[in-house]
């Protein structure tokens, strides 16, 4: 006889493991099926995010930033060092330790909350039954009153640059280089390209990023994107826009990449090439024939705004469904679905999901960009404030960037906040909270912010919406 659960979650990434924990906390009998195992057959929880995504990339970003600071900035503070060097193996070991702490932490959370963790590949046989094939090939089934699909996403591969062991890699490979490549190519100036390009550039690689689009960071506010482009170029990230990759030729330990831009056909040689042109939803072998869970035209599991699929007791959350591919978006969907299954009212606010790009400085935003508001014909006011005028940013030796706030012209309600600057990933939470509470720009302007802090730029940007910034000569009268 198979086990019966109130909720069976397939996939233990940040969408799935959070859904399983929340369901258990709400008193439901929950199980989570995860197929990822290490070479010894030990199950690995945490999905892309913890194993090969958010966490390891941020660990390397942090290490490389410390290295760059020691090399280029310590002298400004009057600190002298002898030759600064980088031990890539030690940097990777630190990253692996952090990953291990967090993934084993999820196992502990499962245990502590009473979630049954099942190792293996899950396949939905019917709306109430899931088959599990473990890494040894053994089959079992679990009965489920409700199923949550949380199978995530995988990198997109493109025909001109098929992966080639050790030379052409995806983001996972780029998190595990054994040494600093001299010439590093990156295809795609998106989030991964900029983050991993930054890591290796700081460690000494000559980085060239080939981006097909003519516009840099097309989905970001374009004032921020322009400032960021200037700053990254200064950091020696050679970002080539309008560059369409047409082919590649691996020759021993290097690769020749062919691409076209407006000047014509070009070639460039790299020691390593990272392909990061987006990710696609992963549903391979997930749904048995006859089970009517529909996919949309792009291969995402089709869901409504409460993550219900086309079968009433089957839900789907995270990267495998529409919306931004972000860990926190998936986790919030997981919580919403667990609450719905437990009979609670739950709804997610998709308008206030923050986006962060962990470059230096960081880029972060929430809500609408100025370009989106223009396209939608919304009348708005804008206020911005540069970090160059913020004492704390000067003290930190990091004055690049600005905060920009967009508010409705009539109601003053905040419609978007955009930050390019030190700790933008932390500052953006202020915009998220303000928008979640339907705050006006004036509400923020009337709030007392601690001095000296980077947050003062948020305060001044809110004041600047009505042209009342204190530490800036107001241009409009």
Q: How, if at all, do strands 254-261 and 380-386 pair?
A: unpaired
By CB under 6 A, the count of residues binding ligand FAD is 36
Please choose, out of 12-20, 181-189, 249-257, 433-441, the segment that lies near ligand NAD by the rule CB under 6 A.
Answer: 181-189
The binder of 418, among ligand NAD, ligand FAD, none, by C-beta within 5 to 8 A per type, is none
Residues 218-257 as x/- pattern, contact with ligand NAD by CB under 6 A: ---------------------------x------------
Contact 115, 32 (CB under 8 A): yes
- The rounded distance, in Å, linking the Cα atoms of 279 and 299 is 11
Tokens 């990933």 identify what position? Answer: 425
Q: How far apart are CB 49 and ligand FAD at their closest, in Å? A: 3
Q: Residue 197 and residue 325: Cα distance in Å, rounded?
A: 20
Which partner in ligand FAD, ligand NAD, none is near 158 (CB below 5 to 8 A by kind)?
Answer: ligand NAD
Q: Which residue of 14, 190, 334, 367 would you call a contact of ligand NAD, by CB under 6 A?
A: 190
Q: Given 72, 77, 360, 451, which residue is catalytic?
A: 451
Minimal distance in Å, beta carbon 124 to ligand FAD? 9
Stretch that binds ligand NAD, among 185-193, 376-384, 401-409, 429-437 (CB under 6 A): 185-193
Q: CB under 5 to 8 A by kind: which of ligand NAD, ligand FAD, none does 161 bind?
A: none
Question: Judged by CB under 6 A, which of 9, 20, 21, 53 binds ligand FAD?
Answer: 53
Q: What are phi and psi of 47, to 5 degrees?
A: 65, -160
d(C-alpha 315, C-alpha 7), whole Å: 10
Of residues 273-302, those binding ligand FAD (CB under 6 A): 282, 286
212 binds, among ligand NAD, ligand FAD, none (CB under 5 to 8 A by kind): ligand NAD
Interaction of residue 61 with ligand NAD, rule CB under 6 A: no
135 an active-site residue?
no
| Angle formed at CA 171 by CA 335 and CA 261, multiple of 5 degrees | 120
- Helices and strands, number each (H, E), in the chain: 13, 22
Give me the phi and psi of 476, to 5 degrees please. Answer: -80, 140
Instruction: Please say whether the beta carbons of 402 and 450 come within 8 A.
Output: no
**DSSP secondary structure of 183-213:** EEEEE--SHHHHHHHHHHHHTT-EEEEE-SS
Min. distance of Cβ 18 from ligand FAD in angstroms? Answer: 8
50 touching ligand NAD, by CB under 6 A: no
Q: What is the CA radius of gyration of the chain?
A: 24
Cα–Cα distance list, 69 to 66, 81, 387 (Å): 5, 11, 19
Q: What x/- string results for residues 313 through 332 when contact with ligand NAD is judged by CB under 6 A?
A: -----------xxx------
Which one of residues 117, 213, 222, 453 is an interface residue with ligand NAD (CB under 6 A)? 213
CB within 8 Å of 59: residues ≥ 6 apart:
94, 95, 98, 99
Contact string (CB under 6 A) for ligand FAD, positions 233-272, x = contact: ----------------------------------------
CA angle at 184 for the pair 183 and 190, rounded to the nearest 5°? 155
Going by C-beta distance under 8 Å and a sequence separation of 6 or more, which residues neighbour residue 289? none
| E strands in 106-253 | 116-119, 121-126, 129-133, 139-149, 153-155, 168-169, 183-187, 206-210, 237-240, 244-251
> From ligand FAD, ligand NAD, none, which one binds at residue 16 (CB under 5 to 8 Å depending on kind)?
ligand FAD
- Single out the residue of 5, 7, 9, 13 in contact with ligand FAD (rule: CB under 6 A): 13
DSSP string, 304-347: -TT-B-SSTTEEE-GGGSSS---HHHHHHHHHHHHHHHTT----
Using CB under 6 A as the binding rule, whether residue 49 contacts ligand NAD is answered as: no
In 3D space, the residue among 169, 68, 51 whose CA is nearest the CA of residue 102 turns out to be 51
Regarding 150 and contact with ligand FAD (CB under 6 A), the answer is: yes
Task: Name the strand (E) or helix (H) holding 460.
Answer: helix 456-464
| C-beta closer to ligand FAD: residue 333 or 398 | 333
Binding ligand FAD (rule: CB under 6 A), the pick from 43, 146, 151, 369 is: 151
Q: Cα torsion for 310, 316, 320, 323, to the nearest 10°?
A: 90
Binding partner of 293, given ligand NAD, ligand FAD, none, CB within 5-8 angstroms per partner class = none
325 is a site residue for ligand FAD (CB under 6 A):
yes
Q: How far is the CB of 218 from ligand NAD (least distance, A)?
A: 7
Work out which of 9, 31, 43, 48 binds ligand FAD, going by CB under 6 A.
48
Footprint on this chain of ligand FAD (rule: CB under 6 A):
10-16, 33-36, 47-49, 53-54, 57, 121-122, 150-153, 171, 192, 282, 286, 318-320, 325-328, 330, 358
Residues at the contact surface with ligand NAD, assessed by CB under 6 A: 158, 187-193, 195, 210-213, 245, 276-279, 324-326, 356-358
Q: Which residues are catalytic?
A: 451
């Amino acid at each position: 006889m198979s086990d019966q659960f109130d909720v069976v979650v397939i996939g233990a990434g940040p969408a799935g493991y959070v859904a399983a924990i929340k369901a258990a906390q709400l008193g439901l009998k929950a199980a989570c099926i995860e197929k990822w195992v290490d070479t010894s057959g030990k199950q690995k929880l945490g999905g892309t995010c913890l194993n090969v995504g958010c966490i390891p990339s941020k660990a390397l970003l942090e290490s490389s930033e410390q290295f760059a600071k020691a090399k280029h900035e310590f002298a400004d503070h009057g600190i002298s060092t002898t030759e600064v060097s980088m031990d890539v193996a030690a940097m990777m070991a630190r990253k692996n330790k952090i990953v291990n702490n967090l993934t084993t932490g999820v196992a502990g959370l499962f245990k502590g909350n009473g979630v049954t963790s099942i190792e293996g590949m899950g396949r939905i046989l019917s709306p109430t039954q899931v088959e599990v094939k473990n890494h040894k090939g053994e089959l079992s089934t679990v009965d489920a009153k409700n199923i949550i699909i949380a199978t995530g996403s995988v990198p997109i591969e493109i025909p001109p640059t098929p992966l080639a062991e050790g030379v052409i890699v995806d983001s996972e490979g780029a998190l595990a280089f054994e040494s600093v490549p001299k010439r590093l190519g990156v295809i795609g100036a998106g989030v991964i390209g900029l983050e991993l390009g930054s890591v290796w550039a700081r460690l000494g690689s000559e980085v060239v990023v080939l981006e097909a689009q003519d516009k840099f960071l097309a989905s970001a506010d374009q004032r921020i994107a322009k400032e960021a482009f200037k700053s990254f170029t200064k950091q020696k990230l050679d970002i080539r826009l309008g560059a369409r990759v047409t082919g590649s030729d691996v020759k021993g330990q290097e690769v020749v990449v062919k691409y076209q831009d407006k000047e014509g056909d070009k070639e460039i040689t790299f020691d390593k090439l990272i392909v990061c042109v987006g990710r696609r939803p992963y549903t391979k072998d997930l749904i048995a024939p006859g089970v009517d869970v529909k996919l949309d035209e792009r291969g995402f599991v089709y869901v409504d705004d409460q993550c219900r699929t086309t079968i009433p007791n089957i839900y789907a959350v995270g990267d495998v469904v529409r919306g931004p591919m972000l860990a926190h978006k998936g986790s919030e969907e997981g919580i919403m679905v667990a609450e719905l299954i437990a009979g609670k009212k739950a709804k997610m606010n998709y308008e206030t999901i923050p986006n962060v790009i962990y470059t230096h400085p960081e880029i972060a935003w929430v809500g609408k960009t100025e370009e989106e508001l223009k396209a939608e014909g919304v009348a708005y006011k804008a206020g911005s404030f540069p970090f160059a005028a913020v004492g704390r940013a000067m003290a930190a030796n990091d004055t690049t960037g600005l905060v920009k706030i967009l508010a409705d012209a009539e109601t003053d309600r905040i419609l978007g906040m955009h930050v390019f600057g030190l700790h933008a990933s932390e500052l953006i939470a202020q915009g998220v909270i303000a928008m979640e509470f339907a705050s006006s720009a004036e509400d923020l302007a009337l709030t007392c912010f601690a001095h000296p802090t980077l947050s003062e730029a948020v305060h001044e940007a809110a004041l600047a919406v009505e042209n009342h910034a204190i530490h800036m000569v107001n241009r409009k009268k």
